[in-house]
Amino acid sequence: MAAEQRKSREIVEAGLARRRRREKLFRATGLVATAVGVIFLGVFFATLIVQGSSAFVQTFIELDVEMSEDFLAPDGELDLQYADFDGLVRNALRAEFPDVSGRSERRELYRLVSVGAGYQLREMLQADPSLVGSTVTVSVPAASTVDMLVKGNIDATIDESLRPISDAQVAWVESLQESGRLATRFNRALFTNGDSREPELAGIKGALMGSFYMLVVTVALAFPIGVAAAIYLEEFAPKSRWSDLIEVNINNLAAVPSIVFGLLGLAVFINWMALPRSAPLVGGLVLSLLTLPVIIIASRAAIQSVPPSIREAALGLGASRMQVVFHHVLPLALPGMLTGTIIGMSRALGESAPLLMIGMVAFIVDVPGGFTDPATALPVQVYLWADSPERAFAERTSAAIIVLLGFLLIMNLAAVIIRKRMERKW
């Protein structure tokens, strides 16, 4: 007996070192696994910020533009629609660099400045027609190649044929820098312009407005319908096959790939109901179907957390079941429902696959002004810009992502705050 005990003790002790090693290894693996996710997140945000932060500033070139009356209105009458504002910019550039001669060299010179410069002058004259005849100092956006050079994204030391900017242009940019006529300032165009083929003029306002209109439609539909469905399923539905079916259905819908909702939107809203393509209205409809399950599930959880004693007290005082729900249960469950809705909305804001199906990927310059105007959404804008070959668009894509993540962060913070502030513990 004693010998046997000693034997099993020996067996255990012999294996102990190996088992402890395994334990340590297992623990280390777990730590590494946890670190993988966290490190990825760190790398991810670091790349985004490194790539995207420079898009929030932009290079401007200061030019002395002579708004000569003879040039703008050769026939004596100024027509803002047809006057040659690009010519004014060219004149100013020639005045800045008087020793540039030859057509091709001049053309290279003109390419330092964005094509948006002419529009900017037109807008200035529209606002203040008295400027005609005077010489004004304006700062106009530089072309995206110049912008990239100034920000150091283009290496000027490599061979000329390998970069989108020529040696002569580099020299002009340097002389502009020396004379202090080149400045980098906050990039307002990013937030006030719609999309554009020119990176230096492209902005996210159109996409932001499109996303905004879509979310308005989504909230207006998904919140009331989701809450109503949750109320019915929790408080009124008899335990039957039908309510079981609805329940299974909702859980499944929450896991259906979002692109399938896009197919539904294309077939039902666009082909069958003939609603306009690319419209925030249709996008909002699709997104509300997509977020409905999320809101229903969250609202049901919120209703379940209201203690039965509240219902019983109200029923005991003579309230009808409908009054119990609307006067007592709903107000108490509302914070939880709002939290669920905000989380559903943040999911809707980041969604892009179904929007591709219903034509919201079009190149749209105008900022949408209503629910049926053609529009895109912020994540779709990211997708469109990510596809563009210009180096300057990569920077803007990162900036658009930062803005998108900023909105998502605000929404999730709001959800957390609502939960912390308003939710009652029973």
Site for other proteins in 360-389 (CB under 8 A): 361, 370, 379-380, 382-383, 386-387
What is the distance between the alpha carbons of residues 306 and 402, in angstroms, rounded to a whole number? 38
Q: How far is the CB of 300 from other proteins (least distance, A)?
A: 11
Q: How far is the CB of 147 from other proteins (least distance, A)?
A: 19
Tell me which residues in 58-117 interact with other proteins (CB under 8 A). none
Cα four-point dihedral sign 350, 354, 358, 364: positive
Q: What are phi and psi of 352, to 5 degrees?
A: -130, -30
Bridge partners of residue 64, in order along the sequence: 137
If you ran DSSP here, which 8-state letter would residue 77 be given? S
**Closest CB to other proteins among residues 91, 258:** 258
Considering the rule CB under 8 A, would residue 289 count as an interface residue with other proteins? yes
Considering the rule CB under 8 A, would residue 301 count as an interface residue with other proteins? no
Tell me which residues in 9-38 interact with other proteins (CB under 8 A). 12, 19-20, 22-23, 26-27, 29-34, 36-38
Q: How far is the CB of 38 from other proteins (least distance, A)?
A: 5
**Closest CB to other proteins among residues 120, 412:** 412
Q: Angle 85-96/103-110 helices, nearest 10 degrees?
A: 110
Considering the rule CB under 8 A, would residue 293 count as an interface residue with other proteins? yes
Q: What are phi and psi of 248, to 5 degrees?
A: -60, -45
Q: What are phi and psi of 283, to 5 degrees?
A: -55, -45
Cα 395 to the center of its chain, rounded Å = 14
Tell me which residues in 319-358 interact with other proteins (CB under 8 A). 320-322, 346, 349-353, 356-357
Bridge partners of residue 116, in order along the sequence: none
**Closest CB to other proteins among residues 2, 255:** 255
**Closest CB to other proteins among residues 44, 186:** 44
What is the distance between the alpha carbons of residues 264 and 274, in angstroms, rounded to a whole number? 13
Q: How far is the CB of 170 from other proteins (least distance, A)?
A: 26
Q: Nearest Cα to 204, choosing from 407, 351, 411?
A: 407
**Closest CB to other proteins among residues 10, 123:** 10
What is the distance between the alpha carbons of residues 227 and 59, in angstroms, rounded to a whole number? 50
Q: How far is the CB of 334 from other proteins (least distance, A)?
A: 16
Q: Nearest Cα to 378, choosing from 157, 240, 220, 190?
A: 190
Q: Which of 113, 140, 292, 364 binds other proteins (CB under 8 A)?
A: 292
Considering the rule CB under 8 A, would residue 404 count as an interface residue with other proteins? yes
The amino acid occupying position 216 is V
Considering the rule CB under 8 A, would residue 274 count as an interface residue with other proteins? yes
Residue showing tokens 């900036």: 399
Q: Which of 394, 399, 403, 418 binds other proteins (CB under 8 A)?
A: 394
Q: How far is the CB of 284 from other proteins (least distance, A)?
A: 15
Q: Which stretch binds other proteins (CB under 8 A): 60-68, 92-100, 205-213, 272-280?
A: 272-280
What is the distance between the alpha carbons of residues 113 and 23, in angstroms, rounded to a whole number? 65
Considering the rule CB under 8 A, would residue 296 count as an interface residue with other proteins? yes
Tell me which residues in 204-263 interact with other proteins (CB under 8 A). 224-226, 228-229, 231-233, 236-237, 245-246, 248-253, 255-261, 263
**Closest CB to other proteins among residues 42, 74:** 42
**Do the beta carbons of residue 177 and residue 118 sit within 8 Å?**
no
Judged by CB under 8 A, the number of residues near other proteins is: 85
What is the distance between the alpha carbons of residues 216 and 280, in angstroms, rounded to a whole number? 9
Tell me which residues in 303-322 interact with other proteins (CB under 8 A). 320-322
Residue 80 has a CB neighbour count (10 Å cut-off) of 13
Q: Given strand 182-186, what is the order of strands in its sheet?
A: 135-141, 57-66, 182-186
Considering the rule CB under 8 A, would residue 271 count as an interface residue with other proteins? yes
**Closest CB to other proteins among residues 338, 378:** 378
